Amino acid sequence: MSLPSEKNIQLPELPQEASPAEIISAGLKVADGPVALACSFSVEDVVIVDLLQEVAPQVRLFALDTGRLNEETYEVAEAVSQRYGIAIDWFFPERDAVEKLEREKGLFSFRESLDNRHECCRIRKVEPLQRALKGLGGWITGLRREQSVTRTGLAPLEVDTSNGGILKINPLLEWSEAQVWEYAESKRLPVNKLHRQGYPSIGCAPCTRAIKDGEHPRAGRWWWEDPEHKECGLHRR
């Protein structure tokens, strides 16, 4: 799968306290082509969907269906689509690659080693993402700095060198979890039921669990791995 061709993006200077709406607007002005939101239907992503209705309703949504999502995730996707009257572009893994992986290594190879987990994520997430980003000038994510040690070095606007040099927009980067929930509750947004059951971070069902009191928000993702490894490859640096 070839990546988008390299683009020449001049990142603007943002005010230190730039709002999510200001970050989105600034990104749309400099993106070399259309921009889309990568939506996993987390509370962060649903907040961004709501923001986009006022700031940039032309921005489309796409989602990655790994084949192992929770039912609750699909429920939020349907609620978002109906509430805002928007279509969601779903991208799926290549069938042959999934069949080969499961035939040769079984259904839970991703728990056997970091390499195996990366292989599964590459097939189910990274390759579909590359197809989803094809032809785009930029993409929007719900990443927040406090979520993980792997996200402390992010910027609100970045050149995504891992995906052909397109623009990456992280409008909620500086928001706290409390700010996200305050917005979601004030707007009565559809929220994944698992968030209320101790799942601050939700991915594929076999790779996500509820966290215990005092645990880091990302402790429930790939809980058998060290914190510095807890990315799936969608946000390589």
Catalytic residues: 232
CA distances from 50 to 23, 57, 138, 179 (A): 15, 9, 19, 14
Backbone dihedral angles phi then psi of residue 160, each to the nearest 5 degrees:
-85, 90
Q: Would you say 46 and 75 are in contact if contact means Cβ atoms under 8 Å apart?
A: no
Q: Would you say 217 and 211 are in contact if contact means Cβ atoms under 8 Å apart?
A: yes
| Sign, Cα dihedral of 104, 233, 230, 79 | negative
Backbone dihedral angles phi then psi of residue 213, each to the nearest 5 degrees:
-55, 130
